[in-house]
């Protein structure tokens, strides 16, 4: 595929490659899709699954929403590592530079009013989703993303965290989810269990504790990702 169109490309153009190449690619990918489709259609009919295992152990998990039980209890280490991935992505973004100055004009009356109305409501909804996640659809990820939506809305209207918050307090908030998760896991190991093996009597409270910290961290991390760079801490220059 060495052929090259010589015209300069602007970002509104497609920048596509030659037709024979695209045809060959389309044929190959159709074959791939057909093969994958055949694999799905030929799966065994009574599907093996883990739902019976989850249902059998749901009483000991501390919550009654099976998805939350899987996320925070049965496969808790997945979620633990996932929070690590979030933190790593933020570190990657921060290492690329400081957040750009925002040049947006001050928000119009509609956005301003909407944000004033929506931001408290979104925070309330996040708290509700966090609480209800134990027995209904909801949980730390949904609550965290709603919290991040409130943060993004505030950032869009020109609000920036003050210099007092963007230093150590911000970093503690970002690391809280992973930190609480690891501390709970290690303390449970020291008490004689295995990593993230909650005693059934405390499981509900521990899950809520971890979820609360994770919600704060996820919300702050996603909003900080939207900011697109590390904030300048403290007095500048």
Binding residues among 39-58 for other proteins as defined by CB under 8 A? 40-41, 43, 46-47, 49-51, 54-55
Cα–Cα distance measured from residue 225 to residue 166, given in angstroms and rounded to the nearest whole number: 14
Q: In 46-108, where does DSSP find H-type helix?
A: 51-57, 66-69, 76-95
- Binding other proteins (rule: CB under 8 A), the pick from 23, 36, 117, 195 is 36
Cα–Cα distance measured from residue 223 to residue 58, given in angstroms and rounded to the nearest whole number: 34
Cα–Cα distance measured from residue 207 to residue 202, given in angstroms and rounded to the nearest whole number: 9
- Binding other proteins (rule: CB under 8 A), the pick from 7, 42, 56, 101 is 101
Cα–Cα distance measured from residue 190 to residue 187, given in angstroms and rounded to the nearest whole number: 5
The window from 69-77, 180-188, 191-199, 204-212 that contacts other proteins (CB under 8 A) reads 69-77
Q: Does 142 bind other proteins (CB under 8 A)?
A: yes
Binding mask 208-227 for other proteins (x = CB under 8 A): ----------x--xx--xx-
Q: Does 233 bind other proteins (CB under 8 A)?
A: no
Of residues 20 and 187, the one with the C-beta less far from other proteins: 20
Angle ∠(147,97,115) on CA atoms, nearest 5 = 30
Binding residues among 72-91 for other proteins as defined by CB under 8 A? 74-75, 78-79, 82, 85-86, 89-90
Q: Cβ 155 to other proteins, closest distance in Å? A: 9
Binding residues among 166-205 for other proteins as defined by CB under 8 A? none
Q: Cβ 191 to other proteins, closest distance in Å? A: 26
Beta strands (DSSP E) in the chain are: none
Q: Does 19 bind other proteins (CB under 8 A)?
A: no
φ and ψ of 101, to 5 deg: -60, 140
Binding residues among 113-132 for other proteins as defined by CB under 8 A? 129
Instruction: Enumerate the β-bridge partners of residue 98.
Output: 230
Query: Per the structure block, which two tokens stand in for 193?
Result: 């269990």
Among candidate residues 213, 91, 87, 226, the one with its CA nearest the CA of residue 154: 226
- Binding other proteins (rule: CB under 8 A), the pick from 57, 60, 145, 173 is 145
SS3 label, residue 234: coil
Of residues 171 and 187, the one with the C-beta less far from other proteins: 171
* Count of residues near other proteins by CB under 8 A: 78
Q: Helix axis angle, 76-95 relative to 168-190, nearest 10°?
A: 150
């Amino acid at each position: 595929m060495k052929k090259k169109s010589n015209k300069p490309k602007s970002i509104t153009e497609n920048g596509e490659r030659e037709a024979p190449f695209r045809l060959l690619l389309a044929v190959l990918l159709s074959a791939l899709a057909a093969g994958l489709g055949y694999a799905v259609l030929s799966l065994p009919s009574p599907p093996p699954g883990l739902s019976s295992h989850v249902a059998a152990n749901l009483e000991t998990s501390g919550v009654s929403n099976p998805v939350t039980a899987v996320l925070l209890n049965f496969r808790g280490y997945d979620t633990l590592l996932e929070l690590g991935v979030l933190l790593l992505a933020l570190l990657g973004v921060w290492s690329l530079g400081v957040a750009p100055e925002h040049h947006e004009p001050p928000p119009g009356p509609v956005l301003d009013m909407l944000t004033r109305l929506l931001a408290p409501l979104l925070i309330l909804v996040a708290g509700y989703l966090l609480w209800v996640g134990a027995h209904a659809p909801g949980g730390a990820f949904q609550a965290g993303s709603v919290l991040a939506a409130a943060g993004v809305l505030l950032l869009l209207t020109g609000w920036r965290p003050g210099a007092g918050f963007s230093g150590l307090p911000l970093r503690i908030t970002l690391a809280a989810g992973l930190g609480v998760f690891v501390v709970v896991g290690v303390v449970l190991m020291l008490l004689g269990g295995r990593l993230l093996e909650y005693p059934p009597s405390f499981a509900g409270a521990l899950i809520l504790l971890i979820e609360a910290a994770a919600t704060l961290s996820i919300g702050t991390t996603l909003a900080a990702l939207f900011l697109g760079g590390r904030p300048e801490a403290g007095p500048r220059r």
